[in-house]
Amino acid sequence: MRATTALLLRAEGFSVDEAGGGEEALALLAQRPYDLLLTDLKMEPMDGLALLKRALDGPTGLQVIVMTAYGSIETAVEAIRSGAYDYITKPFKDGELVYRVQKALERARLISTVDTFAGEFKERHGLSALVGKSAAMRELTTRISRVANSDATVLIEGESGTGKELVARAIHALSSRSKAPFVPVNCAAITESLLESELFGHARGAFTGAVKARRGLFEEAHGGSLFIDEVTETSGAFQSKLLRALQEHEVRRVGENTSITVDVRVVAASNRDIEQDVADKRFRQDLFYRLAVVTLKVPPLRDRLEDVPVLAAHFLERANARNRRPHRITQSAIEHLTGYSFPGNVRELENLVEQAAALAEGEELLPEDFPLKKQRGGTEASPIPFSPVGVATLADAVTEAERKAIQVALERLPDLGRVAEVLGVSTTTLWRKMKRLGLKTSQEPPPDA
């Protein structure tokens, strides 16, 4: 019965997981959010009613349909009283089941748009927070669920705004450590000396101002995951200490002689070409190998523009729930957006949608509600682009500075080899950057590019 029902629903395009009993179902429900639970009532050892009650204790938004045998209408009524959305009497026709499932899912969808708790549940549960249907995103989510259950250190690479932190959170949420803390630290945001005491803690009186002993973030993350963001923005000395902590599974507070054992899964991220940093001796190679046991690359949005419509819908849904003034995005606006290169990646799209939702007059969002920055490309040096609210992101400023430097060098030097030499990068890096910036040259690419 279960197998054929699942088969039927899958054939209708639903994504279905099967559980052989109540306990198994509850275990699945705890792993990720579901829209619908379809259960029989007569089961052993946990019956359908008990399952229903426990399932509804969980996340909001879950709909339940119970299946009852002909003649046991009382239990069906009891199920409805206990919070089931609907019941269906066996034997039933395929069409009837599909119809009821569709109705229940419609309701689930309605609830999840208005219910911010459901949103939070999704955030907590990782993968579903990662919106995207491109092949690249699907591959990424598959890899995330595969690595989540190991304790392997993961290095996440990707341009700014591609969703690296979301990926890190998903890994944690899907891992057996999900009940312990996820502790993020951004190495670029704190000074070198502070970073060390932040991460490793310090003894009382270790330095001026250290009036109390303090646990470091490694200790805070004990049993859970530590997310080390922008890991390339650290000194060699710091990198050595980090390497030691990873190798020995212990940390030593600043100003302390003894070490403390920590059980922490480390996930690191970088928006730089970290291998290039290793080649340039800006980043310790041994630490790189330690961190990059598994490497996940988050592709830039311009390489998966088919994700733009679903992402825009996702951000709009969120904005609508918050603004209480629903907007609809028009097809022409979607087309306008999918023709753009998104130098600021998903974050830029998110900001565009939020702004449009906050500022647009009418109910429909039109192309002009999404003012885009000038597209990249050509040989003319464009000024640092400014967003409508008057500030450029740091990433944009850096990109523009790189573009200018490369253009000037290209104009003045005879070949790519010289350009690379003068700019202090390898020809491969130079070529990659030029491709990304849309800079053209008549010269041949290097053989290994």
Ligand X SMILES: Nc1ncnc2c1ncn2[C@@H]1O[C@H](COP(=O)(O)OP(=O)(O)OP(=O)(O)O)[C@@H](O)[C@H]1O
* Size of the residue set binding Mg ion (CB under 5 A): 1
Q: Which two tokens stand for residue 284?
A: 């310790």
Residue closer to ligand X by CB (options 259, 295) is 295
* Nearest residue to the partner Mg ion, using Cβ: 165
CB of 160 to ligand X, least distance (A): 3
Which residue is closest to ligand X by CB? 163
In the complex, least distance from residue 161 CB atom to ligand X, rounded to whole angstroms:
5
Residue 52's binding partner, choosing from Mg ion, ligand X, none, with beta-carbon cut-off 5 to 8 A by kind?
A: none
Least distance between ligand X and beta carbon 146 (Å): 18
For the beta carbon of residue 319, count every other beta carbon within 10 angstroms: 19
Q: Which of the choices Mg ion, ligand X, none does residue 347 contact, using the CB cut-off of 5 to 8 A by kind? A: ligand X
The kind and range of the H/E element at 246 are: helix 236-248
> 448 — alpha (psi -120 to 50), left (phi > 0) or beta?
alpha
- In this structure, are residues 378 and 403 in contact, taking their beta carbons and an 8 Å threshold? no
Q: Which does 396 bind (CB under 5 to 8 A by kind): Mg ion, ligand X, none?
A: none
Q: Do you find a cis peptide bond into 445, omega within 30 degrees of 0?
A: no
Write the burial class of residue 20 (CB in 10 Å: 0-12 exposed, 13-18 middle, 19+ buried).
Answer: exposed
By a kind-dependent CB cut-off of 5 to 8 A, residue 433 interacts, out of ligand X, Mg ion, none, with: none
Q: Which is nearer to ligand X, 22 or 343 (CB)?
A: 343
In the list Mg ion, ligand X, none, the entry touching 166 (Cβ below 5 to 8 angstroms by class) is: ligand X
Our finding on whether 78 is near Mg ion (CB under 5 A) is no
> How far is residue 200's CA from residue 253's CA, in Å, rounded to a whole number?
5
Nearest to Mg ion of 165, 421 (CB atom): 165
Centre a 10 Å sphere on the Cβ of residue 324 and count the other Cβ atoms it contains: 7
List b or e across 281-316, with b for residues whose CB sees 16 or more CB atoms inside 10 angstroms. eebbeebbebbbebebbbbbbeebeebbbebbebbb
Q: How far is the CB of 133 from ligand X (least distance, A)?
A: 10
Q: How far is the CB of 351 from ligand X (least distance, A)?
A: 9
Measured between alpha carbons, how far is 188 from 229 in angstroms, rounded to an integer? 8
Is the Cβ of residue 321 or residue 366 nearer to ligand X in the bound state?
321
Residue 350 binding: pick among ligand X, Mg ion, none (C-beta 5-8 Å cut-off by kind): ligand X
Shortest CB 337 distance to Mg ion, Å? 22
* Other beta carbons less than 10 A from residue 177's beta carbon: 21
CB nearer to Mg ion: give 118 or 269.
269
* Distance in Å, CB of 247 to ligand X, minimum: 26
The total of other beta-carbon atoms located within 10 Å of residue 413's CB is 15
Q: CA-CA distance, 300 to 76, in Å (whole number)? A: 50
CA distance 113 to 117: 10
Quick check: 279 and 132 in contact, CB under 8 A?
A: no
Binding mask 136-175 for Mg ion (x = CB under 5 A): -----------------------------x----------
**Tokens found for residue 268:** 């690191």
Q: What 8-state DSSP symbol labels residue 232? A: T
CB-based contact 426:273 (threshold 8 Å): no
Question: What are the E-state strand segments in 139-199?
Answer: 154-157, 182-186
Minimum distance of ligand X from residue 165's CB (angstroms): 3
Q: How far is the CB of 343 from ligand X (least distance, A)?
A: 12
Output 226 or 346, the one with its CB closest to ligand X.
346
Closer CB to ligand X, 245 or 311, in the complex: 311
Q: Which residue, 198 or 348, is less far from ligand X as judged by CB?
A: 348
Question: Which positions touch ligand X (CB under 6 A)?
Answer: 130-132, 158, 160-166, 271, 311, 314, 346-347, 350
Which option in Mg ion, ligand X, none does residue 201 bind, with CB closer than 5 to 8 A by kind? Answer: none
What are residue 186's DSSP bridge partners? 229
Residues engaged in binding Mg ion (CB under 5 A): 165
